[in-house]
Amino acid sequence: MHTLTGIGVSPGIVAGPAAVMNAPPVLPARPPAVTDEHAAVEAAHTALGEVAAELLERAGQAIPPAADILAAQSAMAADPVLAQRVAELIKAGRPPAYAVSDVIAEFAEQFQAAGGYLAERAADLEDLRNRIVARLLGLPMPGLPDPGHPYVLIADDLAPADTATIDPRQVLAIVTERGGPTSHTAILAKSLGLPAVVACTGAIAVADGTQLLVNGTIGTAVVAPAPSQVRSALDREAVRRAAAARVTGPGRTSDGHPVKLMANLGTARELPAATAAEGVGLLRTEFLYLDRAEAPGFDEQRAAYAEIFDAFAGRRVVVRTLDAGADKPLRFATQPDEPNPALGVRGLRTSLRSPELLDEQLAAISAAAQRARAEVWVMAPMVSTPGEAAAFAQRARAQGLPTVGVMIEVPAAALRADAVLAGCDFVSLGTNDLAQYAFAADRTLSDVADLLDPWQPALLDLIHLTAQAGHRAGKPVGVCGEAAGDALLALVLVGLGVTSLSMAPATLVDVRAALAHHTIAECRHLADLARAAPDAAAARSHVEAVAHTGRWGGARDGWR
Ligand code: PEP
Ligand code: MG
């Protein structure tokens, strides 16, 4: 038994057998000669048939959207035109795996050129190619493992394409060797309510089937734990969860200071889990645009927004306009060759190059809002100056959207929060990017994960500055970065003066319970402690010591 340590990015404790996600197969640079043409064609056709059958079987067991993606891939593998082209190439001297790879690359190119729906399927073709090639080379199947029972997913890191088919009934937890606290893996795991540990050195060396005890709250994975250790950890977790679930109602401190607890939404599939929230504090509209060759049209956008607004009738939905670029590149909106994409034309800046994208989106949001009973607010990502904030507000209001805000993700905007707020109605702190830009640390890089820790006192200073500006202006200041979903840090954020917290729905219960156990004065005391700490680790441990053990100078009993 030994313990691997990483960064806990999605809370919860589970135990289960590991299943490792295999890397895509690599074809040897020098293709072997084809000695028996007939046998080679036979081998290729057998592999196509087996992969098609396997994908179809998995489609039958999966839930949407994974089921649809798997069924479409199966149909592609069974396509007679594919089999025919592969046979032709083999007869021209290409070995089976190379022939499959070449033909699928040709198809993918044609799909891309056709645009629209077909271009969106190009990534599925790539995945299909990897599966067939692995089968032909006798290598482990790439992509998500399918051991036939629930498992802890172990991967180097997860890309957006890997995650579309994650079935939360099969995956118990996610542990990755790389990734940071605000990486795609972290956001996805939280949205699915799966405990997750990222930047976990040694994870990838864990053998398939090894029992793991994963703690996504503190960021550990115990390898081959003793059964008694598993039992007591799961029992403690069940007691904690039950206690947290007993706290219901709107977010407030124990002395009644209100803090709106909202959900972050990235895709419509997260909708059912989010409806328990007081509203949506961040609707990441990229889900409509990603993996597409061109922007969705007005009608499609309006319908997608309307579905979400209808689910939140009587509550607030904060829609963030398209945040393309950097970690979310889009073929039609971002430049592929920028030397520093995180510092380039991204977020609101893309509307300088393609103003029609933003105007059409604002018009679609406005049209959907008109017929909805939700209170629709709109905000722009990656705003750097008061001028940008005011211009965006003007543009959104011109489309009939009355409540307009901006995200504070750039330190310059936090430093000038008074002026930013003068031109709009509210701000929301995107702590993921704010940490990235304040610490000059790439949020996708696990090597700099320490700097991206949302407990960094300098980050807390920027949040405090912004919250004070909101207080002076009498305007709301929310947090919608991953920091808001950390129950302990949420106390600090409230103490710093933020008025709402928006998070992955799975973390709402713990945050609500934490708030209900502390007064606003205690939250302010914790905020002072955290800001006075020399570093992130000290900030967390000082706050934890006081909040959990109740050393309030005799003022109150402990929490938990
Ligand atoms: C953020 O940067 O904190 C944020 C909420 O936006 P995203 O993670 O989508 O960049
Ligand atoms: Mg951001």
Containing 319, the helix (H) or strand (E) segment is strand 316-320
Residue 559 pLDDT more than 60? no
Q: pLDDT band for position 117 (50/70/90)?
A: low
Distance 400 CA to ligand 2 centre (A): 25
Q: Which atom of ligand 1 is nearest to the CA of 429?
A: 3
Q: How would DSSP label each residue in 210-231?
A: -EEEEETTTTEEEES--HHHHH
Q: Which domains does the chain have, with CATH numbers?
A: 2-22+144-241 (3.50.30.10), 37-137 (1.10.274.10), 254-549 (3.20.20.60)
Q: Does the active-site annotation cover 424? A: no
In which band, very low, low, confident or very high, does the pLDDT at 24 lie, cut at 50, 70 and 90? confident
> For ligand 1, is residue 284 a contact (CB within 6 Å)?
yes
User: What is 371-437 written as a DSSP string?
Assistant: H-SSEEEEEESS--SHHHHHHHHHHHHHTT---EEEEE-SHHHHHTHHHHHHTSSEEEE-HHHHHHH
C-beta 423 within 6 A of ligand 1: no
Between 173 and 268, the more confident residue is 173
- CA-nearest of 508, 65, 61, 16 to 223 is 16
Number of other CB atoms surrounding residue 41 within 10 Å: 20
3 state SS of 7: strand
* CA 481–ligand 2 middle distance (angstroms): 7
The ligand 1 atom nearest the CA atom of 432: 3
Rounded to the nearest angstrom, the distance between the alpha carbon of 433 and the centre of ligand 2 is 5
Centroid of ligand 2 to alpha carbon of 204 (angstroms): 29
Mutate to test the pocket of ligand 1, among 182, 285, 320 (most ligand atoms within 8 A of CB): 182
Cβ of 409 closer than 6 Å to ligand 1, yes or no, is: yes
Which ligand 1 atom lies nearest to the CA of residue 286?
A: 9
Fill in the amino acid letter for 412.
Answer: A
Q: Which residue in the block uniquely carries the two structure tokens 């950390």?
A: 486
Question: Furthest-apart CA pair in the chain: how many Å?
Answer: 84
Decide whether any atom of ligand 1 lies within 6 Å of the 481 Cβ.
yes
Q: What confidence category does residue 103 fall into, taking pLDDT thresholds of 50, 70 and 90? A: very high
176 Cα to the center of ligand 1, angstroms: 20
Q: Is 436 in the pocket of ligand 1 (CB under 6 A)?
A: no
The CA distances from residue 176 to 151, 308, 444, 490, in Å, are 14, 32, 13, 25
For range 8-18, the mean pLDDT: 94
User: What pLDDT, on the 0 to 100 scale, is given for residue 347?
Assistant: 94
d(CA 44, CA 338): 40
What is the 185 CA–ligand 1 centroid distance (Å)? 13
pLDDT of residue 560: 40
| pLDDT tens digits, one per residue of 322-369 | 998 887 778 788 887 888 989 999 999 998 888 999 999 999 999 999
pLDDT, position 554: 41
Tokens encoding 501? 């917290």
Q: Does any ligand 1 atom lie closer than 6 A to the CB of residue 430?
A: yes
Alpha helix ranges (H) inside 78-121: 80-91, 96-114, 116-120
Residue to mutate, 432, 452, 480, 500, ligand 1, most ligand atoms under 8 Å from C-beta: 432
Contacts for 266-269 with beta carbons within 8 Å, 24 or more apart? 266/187, 266/191, 267/191, 268/304, 268/307, 268/308, 269/64, 269/65
Cβ atoms of residues 281 and 309 within 8 Å:
no
Count Cβ atoms within 10 A of the Cβ of residue 86 and give its class: 0-12 exposed, 13-18 middle, 19 or more buried: buried
- Give the active site residue among 200, 424, 464, 480: 480
> Rounded distance, CA 320 to CA 381, Å?
7
125-142: pLDDT as tens digits: 888 899 999 999 998 888
Predicted structure pTM score: 0.80
The pair of structure tokens assigned to 496 is 């710093």
As a whole number, mean pLDDT of residues 10-24 equals: 93
**Percent composition of the chain: helix, strand, coil (DSSP 3-state, to 5):** 50, 15, 35
Torsion of CA 12, 13, 15, 21, to 10 degrees: 40
Question: Is pLDDT of 558 > 50?
Answer: no
Catalytic residue check, 525: no
Q: Is 433 in the pocket of ligand 1 (CB under 6 A)?
A: yes
Compute CA distances 288 → 159, 294, 303, 323, 330, whole Å. Answer: 17, 11, 11, 11, 11
Model pLDDT for residues 396-438, shown as the tens digit of each residue: 999 999 999 999 999 999 999 999 999 999 999 999 999 999 9
pLDDT number for residue 95: 95
Across 365-376, average pLDDT: 96
High-pLDDT (> 70) share of the chain, %: 94
Q: Which of 382, 407, 434, 498 to mutate to test the pocket of ligand 1 (most atoms within 8 A of CB)?
A: 407
Task: Compute the distance between CA of residue 452 and CA of residue 468 in angstroms, rounded to an integer.
Answer: 23
Percentage above 90 pLDDT, the chain: 69
* Atom 3, ligand 1: residue with shortest CA distance: 430
The neighbour count for residue 153, using CB atoms within 10 Å, is: 25
Mutate to test the pocket of ligand 1, among 191, 264, 323 (most ligand atoms within 8 A of CB): 323
Which is it for the CA torsion 311, 315, 321, 327, positive or negative? negative
480 lines ligand 1 (CB under 6 A): yes
Band the pLDDT of 177: cuts 50, 70, 90.
Answer: very high
How far is 412 from 482, CA to CA, in rounded Å? 20
Q: What is the pLDDT of residues 47-86, one digit of tens each?
A: 999 999 988 888 887 766 667 777 888 899 999 999 999 9
- pLDDT tens track for 210-243: 999 999 988 999 999 999 999 999 999 999 889 8
pLDDT of residue 58: 80
Q: Is the distance from the beta carbon of residue 478 to the nearest atom of ligand 1 less than 6 Å?
A: no
Helices (H) and strands (E) in the chain, counts: 22, 16
In this predicted structure, the answer to whether residue 22 has a pLDDT above a threshold of 90 is no
- What CA–CA distance (Å, rounded) separates 55 from 552? 58
**How remote is the CA of residue 283 from the centroid of ligand 2, in Å?**
12
Per residue in 291-318, pLDDT tens?
Answer: 677 889 999 999 999 999 999 999 999 9
Q: What is the mean pLDDT of residues 268-278?
A: 84
- Whether residue 192 contacts residue 273, with contact meaning beta carbons closer than 8 Å, is answered with no
Of the candidates 551, 557, 518, 57, the one whose C-alpha atom is nearest the C-alpha of residue 257 is 518
Distance 525 CA to ligand 1 centre (A): 27
